[in-house]
Amino acid sequence: MISIQESYVDLIYLREYLPGEYLPQKNLTKKAAVLFLHGYPGSQKNYDIAEHLAFQGFHCYVMHYRGSWKSKGDYSLLSIYEDVHRVIHFLRQKGFENKAISLIGSSWGGFVALEILAKYPDLCKVILLAPFINIGAHEGDLSDVSDFLAAVTRPAIKNYEKEKLFSDLKVVQKEFNPWHKLKEIEGKNVLIIHGSVDQLCPIAYSRQLKFQFKTEARLYELQNQDHFLSTREILYEFCLTFLTEP
């Protein structure tokens, strides 16, 4: 059996999926944590993957960024990074070293996961599910991203107007864009899973992304799958296999 607990790290809601004391841990040689970074609020939180991995012995933590769903405070694209740093510090206090912590980031959470990996290159593994990566290099590109995000903001997020969103995107592009840092990151510790017919975050960007690291990342293309990767059993298998590889 596993246990599911809810807690807060400051303003941040955290759902913990913890393996039971007598649950066999056949695939693990040491205690390991997986932190889930969801996409822009309104998309999946991947509770199902966390539950599946917990049954395999992983300690899984699904956070809600500040101001989204069950978390308190006001949402901002900029505060996400501080939130993730706080939760990683929380995991360290629980006894997990960086090398025992893996990230699973979906959509915008994949973009954030790469920036966090650049900050903490000694993290164990990173899995990117249909990652958003193309923030663009020009203000016109940012305007398109801003229009898209603003369209899906309500009702998941309150009091985050398009003007503030666009202003925050410009800061993200300048200060938190991982694209130019990838050559310093070992791609062998990165798995990308992307649907071949994703219209929200086209797979073409993931095909480019896999070659941007110091060593090539791994890309699994799921045929006829869209942004939400509905064939969940395949995801469970790919995630578990990658996380338990030496």
Of the two residues 143 and 109, the one the predictor is more confident about is 109
C-beta of residue 192 within 8 angstroms of C-beta of residue 219 = yes
The arithmetic mean of pLDDT across residues 193-202, rounded, is 94
Half-sphere exposure of 53 (CA within 13 A, CB side): 32
Note the pLDDT of residue 27.
Answer: 55
Q: For the stretch 33-55, what's the b/e string if a residue is b when 16 or more beta carbons lie within 10 angstroms of its beta carbon?
A: bbbbbbbbbbbbbbeebbebbbb
The arithmetic mean of pLDDT across residues 203-213, rounded, is 95
Report whether pLDDT(24) > 60.
no
The arithmetic mean of pLDDT across residues 196-211, rounded, is 94
Half-sphere exposure of 218 (CA within 13 A, CB side): 13
Q: What angle (nearest 5°) sits at the alpha carbon of residue 132, between those of residues 127 and 138?
A: 140
Distance CA 67, CA 35 (A): 18
pLDDT tens by residue, 125-146: 999 999 998 775 555 567 778 8
Note the pLDDT of residue 131.
Answer: 94
Per-residue pLDDT band at 152 (split at 50, 70, 90)? low
Note the pLDDT of residue 136.
Answer: 58
Report whether pLDDT(232) > 80.
yes
Note the pLDDT of residue 188.
Answer: 96
Q: Given phi > 0 = left and psi -120 to 50 = alpha, else beta, which region is 137? A: alpha
Instruction: Please spell the DSSP secondary structure of 204-233, one letter per residue.
Output: HHHHHHTTSSSBPPEEEEETT--TT---HH
* Continuous segment of H or E residues that includes residue 53: helix 47-55
The winner for highest mean pLDDT among 40-49, 108-117, 148-157 is 108-117
* Continuous segment of H or E residues that includes residue 190: strand 190-195
Q: List the one residue out of 114, 92, 106 whose CA is nearest residue 182.
A: 114
Q: What angle (nearest 5°) sits at the alpha carbon of residue 204, between those of residues 200 and 205?
A: 80
**Tokens representing residue 173 in the block:** 């592009």
pTM: 0.93
Of the two residues 24 and 58, the one the predictor is more confident about is 58
**Helical spans, DSSP H, in 154-197:** 162-175
C-beta of residue 25 within 8 angstroms of C-beta of residue 57 = yes
Q: List the one residue out of 129, 124, 106 whose CA is nearest residue 59.
A: 124
Percent of the chain scoring above 90 in pLDDT: 71
pLDDT tens by residue, 44-73: 679 999 999 999 999 999 999 999 889 999
Distance CA 24, CA 6 (A): 24
